[in-house]
């Protein structure tokens, strides 16, 4: 990720409750087939299934598979899932 050091940034703090799940991803996950709204919904649905069962050992891989299946995206894809205990 490139960051220009001359850019002014803001910091925000948010208190998160225990058992919270957070999903971060690059645009490569949701823009690979040009239907980003549908892909974002699929990612949210996959995360919701995981939060309901809390059984995933590799949540990022599961979300990636749910969204792109076996497709080979032309852009890079990065997915990070954080689960607070």
Q: Among 1-10, 45-54, 73-82, whose mean pLDDT is lowest?
A: 1-10
Burial class (CB in 10 A: 0-12, 13-18, 19+), 64: buried
42-65 pLDDT, tens digit per residue, is 999 988 888 877 666 788 999 999
**CA 1, 49, 51, 41 torsion: positive or negative?**
positive
Identify the pLDDT of residue 25.
Answer: 92
Contact between residue 39 and residue 26 where contact means Cβ atoms under 8 Å apart = no
Question: Which residues, 6 or more positions from 62, have their beta carbon under 8 angstroms from its beta carbon?
Answer: 46, 50, 56
Identify the pLDDT of residue 56.
Answer: 67
16-46 pLDDT, tens digit per residue, is 999 899 999 998 888 877 888 999 999 999 8
What's the chain's Rg over C-alpha atoms? 15
Identify the pLDDT of residue 72.
Answer: 84
């Amino acid at each position: 990720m490139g960051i220009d050091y001359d850019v002014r940034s803001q910091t925000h703090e948010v208190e998160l409750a225990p058992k919270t799940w957070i999903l971060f991803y690059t645009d490569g996950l949701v823009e690979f087939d040009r239907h980003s709204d549908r892909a974002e919904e699929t990612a949210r649905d996959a995360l919701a299934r995981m939060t309901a069962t809390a059984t995933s050992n590799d949540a990022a891989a599961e979300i990636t598979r749910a969204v792109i299946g076996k497709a080979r995206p032309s852009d890079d894809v990065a997915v990070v899932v954080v689960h607070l205990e």
